[in-house]
Amino acid sequence: MIPTHYYLLLGTGLFVIGVIGVMTRRNILIILMSIELILNAVNINLVALSGHFRAVDGQVFAIFVITDAAAEAAVGLGLIIALFRNKETLNADEIDLLKW
């Protein structure tokens, strides 16, 4: 039996990799993928604690997180397509129309 906190440590590692990706990359597509990594880390934690307490609620929450991920991917990719059509760039630091 693997201790529960091993799963939580794995979730932490994946979360931090996602955070580094969001903060350092310039390509907005890869920033969106890093957000997916973060959501997966959250899912690992939810499922691990669900297994730990022998309750199924954590898995239900993980399903809602996946639903959110699907909605976020659809809207985010739509935004990226609209942005690319107008600005011809994928770099997050060049999209600064609102920055003064």
- Which of positions 49-78 make contact with other proteins (CB under 8 A)? 50-57, 59-60, 62-64, 66-75, 77-78
Contact set for other proteins, span 9-28 (CB under 8 A): 9-10, 12-21, 23-27
15: Cβ–Cβ under 8 A, 6 or more apart, which residues? 37, 38, 41, 42
User: Does 99 help bind other proteins (rule: CB under 8 A)?
Assistant: no
What's 93's DSSP letter? G
User: Does 95 help bind other proteins (rule: CB under 8 A)?
Assistant: no
Among 87, 93, 96, 97, contact with other proteins (rule: CB under 8 A): 93
Contact of 49 with 4, CB cutoff 8 Å: yes
User: Does 2 help bind other proteins (rule: CB under 8 A)?
Assistant: yes
Smallest distance from other proteins to CB 4, Å:
4
